[in-house]
């Protein structure tokens, strides 16, 4: 997909200087970090970009956007594949990428979200390979990923996901693919939609979620289709309950067929690219098109955030925060 906006060299340098003035460490003191970012005087061109994105979301024009040549840290440390998150804590001493993601979320009116049981409650997480998850269906693997929502099985799911390219080896061809919920809905008959809106299905938690929270094994019974065109679904994993009526299995097959037929948007993230897309009003996948050097491909690192659709969506979960930090889900 074509970038929605490309920062000029001067804009990128100005933003990097502004974001680099934030002194708090988001992994040690997120509230202070968030307060510093919120107080930054965002340049007019960045406010304009975010306003246009908000307008396109609200009007239904698009739920996926790509920004190119965004400011990131001048020094991007090497992360091993045994404990890359620990390596990030030890080696990443500047937080321009994190500040950019936080400022973007604030200007778009989409408060950030995190999970108490995931990545130590960090609001800035990673798409990076961990050796013990090699070949498995998790963002911490080096494999392709089927179409899915992030945290499909969880009771609290982000509305938007942002991915910022920190290290993206140019020789390795890896795409993130997005299919909108509206496109999927158009491929389903009315009766199929009605069946998919009933709680005839469930979804197991991914392996990383099970490892970090032993209470997370399988979702509650849930519909696949919710709201206007929100889809709660992981291909090959979301399945029909044993006691569900026969039409539930037929509707699931129709869902799989719709996923093949629906139009898709693909983006190959480069260093400094920001890709942001709807997590519930669409599905996304990881496609490894051409891998020249498997070990080099494993060094790919995307900085990721989860976000609520708007402040009202954040407020609906008030009382579920860990240690009283808004957006940090106590799970």
Q: Which residues have a Cβ under 8 Å from the Cβ of 39 and sit 6 or more positions away?
A: none
- Cα 117 to Cα 68, 145, 214, 215, distances in angstroms: 32, 22, 10, 10
What's the pLDDT tens digit per position in 91-106?
Answer: 999 999 999 999 999 9
Quote the pTM value.
Answer: 0.96
Q: Kindly report, residue by residue over 254-299, the tens digit of the pLDDT.
A: 999 999 999 999 999 999 999 999 999 999 999 999 999 999 999 9
Closest among 297, 271, 307 to 141, alpha carbons compared:
297
The answer to the question of residue 326 being in a domain is no
330 domain residue, yes or no: no
In a domain, 10, yes or no: yes
Query: Is residue 148 a known part of a binding site?
Result: yes
Question: In CATH, what number is assigned to the domain containing residue 161?
Answer: 3.60.130.10
pLDDT confidence bin for 132, thresholds 50/70/90: confident
**Domain count for the chain:** 1
Kindly state whether residue 263 falls inside one of the protein's structural domains.
yes
Task: Tell me, yes or no, whether 324 lies in a domain.
Answer: no
Which range of residues forms the domain containing residue 300? 5-319
> Model confidence at 330, in pLDDT bands (50, 70, 90)?
very high
Q: What's the pLDDT score for residue 288?
A: 95
Q: Indicate whether 138 belongs to any domain.
A: yes
Is residue 85 situated within a structural domain? yes
Residue 282 lies in a domain: yes
Residues 14-38 have pLDDT tens digits of 999 999 999 999 999 999 999 999 9
């Amino acid at each position: 997909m074509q970038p929605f906006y490309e920062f000029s060299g001067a804009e990128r340098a100005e933003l990097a200087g502004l974001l680099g003035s934030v002194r708090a460490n988001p992994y040690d003191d997120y509230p202070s970090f968030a307060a510093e970012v919120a107080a930054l005087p965002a340049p007019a061109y960045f406010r304009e970009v975010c306003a246009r994105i908000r307008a396109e979301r609200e009007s239904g024009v698009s739920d996926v956007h790509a920004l190119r040549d965004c400011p990131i840290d001048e020094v991007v440390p090497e992360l091993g594949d045994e404990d890359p998150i620990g390596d990030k804590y030890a080696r990443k001493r500047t937080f321009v990428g994190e500040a950019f993601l936080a400022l973007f979320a604030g200007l778009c009116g989409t408060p950030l979200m995190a999970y108490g049981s995931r990545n130590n409650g960090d609001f800035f997480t990673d798409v990076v390979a961990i050796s013990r998850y090699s070949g498995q269906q998790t963002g911490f693997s080096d494999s392709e990923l089927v179409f899915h929502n992030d945290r499909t099985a969880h009771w609290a799911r982000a509305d938007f996901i942002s991915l910022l390219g920190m290290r993206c080896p140019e020789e390795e061809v890896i795409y993130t693919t997005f299919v909108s919920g509206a496109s999927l809905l158009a491929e389903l008959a009315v009766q199929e939609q009605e069946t998919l809106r009933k709680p005839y299905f469930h979804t197991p938690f991914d392996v990383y979620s099970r490892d970090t929270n032993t209470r997370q094994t399988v979702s509650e019974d849930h519909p696949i289709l919710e709201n206007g065109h929100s889809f709660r679904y992981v291909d090959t994993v979301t399945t029909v309950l044993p006691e569900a009526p026969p039409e539930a299995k037929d509707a699931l097959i129709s869902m799989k067929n719709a996923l093949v037929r629906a139009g898709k948007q693909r983006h190959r993230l480069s260093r400094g690219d920001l890709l942001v897309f709807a997590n519930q009003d669409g599905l996304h996948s990881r496609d490894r098109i051409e891998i020249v050097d498997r070990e080099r491909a494993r060094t790919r690192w995307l900085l990721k955030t989860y976000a609520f659709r708007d402040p009202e969506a954040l407020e609906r979960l008030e009382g579920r925060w860990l240690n009283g930090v808004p957006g940090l889900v106590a799970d």
